[in-house]
Structure 1
């Protein structure tokens, strides 16, 4: 035990001697380490403050219109679901849940407007692409994408055939009026859920969950209400 005490005592004296007489060896790197810590801390604070201010919820008040869709059968296809969560958002809310929330809001508003509504899946349910083929008058597939590049933002509407183009364009125009995102256009692409249909159908990419602004906005219930209204307006403009 005495030997251990002697060793510890000698080590302590050596450390104190080093700290006292060798300041020129450890002061410069210590100074730069402290300075680096201060700079990093300041950068984190400024970045956090910037993000907080940039993504403060945007005022989303808008006037809800009433519609009459009596006699229309409208198929709503919330993308993914169940074992297929789709894209994961920055805030950890997956695509399947986001688009289901919007589809459910749409279903309620459409039924209030007299339409018959068919959902291709319910919450948490997985349905194959083949089984999403349903007969109706109009078909809308809802998605929210993600990319490796987090700077990519915006919404896009897609159609597969010429007889679907006008409907997709009407949805695109109304989304352009209501959305806070960049309009990436109305494009032709053969996604299976619309390719396998022979009546007016469109697939909507509502935003990019890999983009902080898109993600922060599209996960807000108020913005989902706004997208619901945009789609209702697009349907109404197309039918009338």
Structure 2
């Protein structure tokens, strides 16, 4: 053991002497190695941001709809059924901020209804603000049906919005709504999925269930609880409906 300690001490002292008296042997190579790593890192960052890409940026044609300025946009008397999830004795998913899922989605529903009605749509709700409605009671006649929800998971890192549908004749509407949400939302787009949620499978016309985000995620929750982000979601939903109808 003592021999090993002496050997370690000698190796350490030799290393110190080398670093102190033989700088000319390693300083120049070390400098160039450091510069090489720095240059590679910078180039990697630049390529990741597509600065050197010679491909022209894709021009996306998106319909800009100014719902707030009394534009010529019209929903031509279409009946839009909005289903704010949960309500009354059923508050829905718990949140980080303290607001309930039922409160958040009803606020988004009201903001959406204001936009739609001011542009010629008939809007029906499946429940009142502080009311509970069973899944059977949420079945309503209309031209389009949107059920609004916000999920919660045990893993707080899960984030994003998702659109769901049940039947093939509902898929296009769900996908169109997903595209509109993707334009306005800051959350991860979790895509459009087929599911047998009762609120959509009990209908035979275009219907979708939208999970706006995860209240178990602090960022999703804080944003969904804010008036500004709710306004954005109402704009996205209204624009998605307009795009589908046109």
TM over 0.5: same fold?
A: yes
- Aligned position for 1:98: 104
- Contact kept in structure 2, 1:64 and 1:229, CA below 8 Å: no
CA displacement at 1:63 relative to structure 2? 7.7
Q: Note if 1:110 corresponds to 2:116.
A: yes
Structure 2 residue 233 is the aligned partner of structure 1 residue 222: no
The answer as to 2:235 corresponding to 1:239 is no
How far has the Cα of 1:71 moved from its partner? 2.0
Give the distance between the partners of 2:162 and 2:148, measured in 1 at CA: 11
Give the root-mean-square deviation of aligned CA atoms: 1.2
2:88 counterpart of 1:82: yes
Q: Deviations over 1:20-66 (max 9, x none)?
A: xxxxxxxxxxxxxxxxxxxxxxxxxxxxxxxxxxxxxxxxxx98434
Which residue of structure 1 aligns with residue 179 of structure 2?
Answer: 173
Displacement of 1:132 in angstroms is 0.3
Contact 2:81 2:124 in 1 (8 A): yes
- Aligned mates of 2:82, 2:65 — CA distance in 1: 23
Specify every segment of 5 or more residues in structure 1 that has no aligned partner in the other structure, as ranges. 1-61
Q: Where in structure 2 are the equivalents of 1:194-213 lying within 5 Å?
A: 194-213=200-219
- Tell me the residue number matched to 1:160: 166
Aligned length: 179
Structure 1 position 214, deviation (Å) = 0.3
Partner residue of 2:157?
Answer: 151
- Deviation track 1:100-121 (CA, whole Å, cap 9, x = no partner) reads 0000111111110111111000
CA distance in 2, matches of 1:219, 1:64: 24
Secondary structure (helix, strand or coil) at the match of 2:141 reads coil
4+ residue stretches of structure 1 with deviation over 6 A?
A: none
Contact 2:173–2:206 (8 Å) recurs in 1: yes
CA deviation digits over 1:174-230, x for unaligned, max 9?
Answer: 100100000000000010001100000000000000001100111010000000000
Q: Could you tell me how far apart the structure 1 residues matched to 2:189 and 2:66 are?
A: 22
Residue 187 of structure 1 aligns to a residue in which SS?
A: strand
In the alignment, the residues of structure 2 paired with residue 229 and residue 89 of structure 1 have an alpha-carbon distance, to the nearest angstrom, of 23
Provide the rounded CA distance (Å) in 1 between the counterparts of 2:130 and 2:216. 22
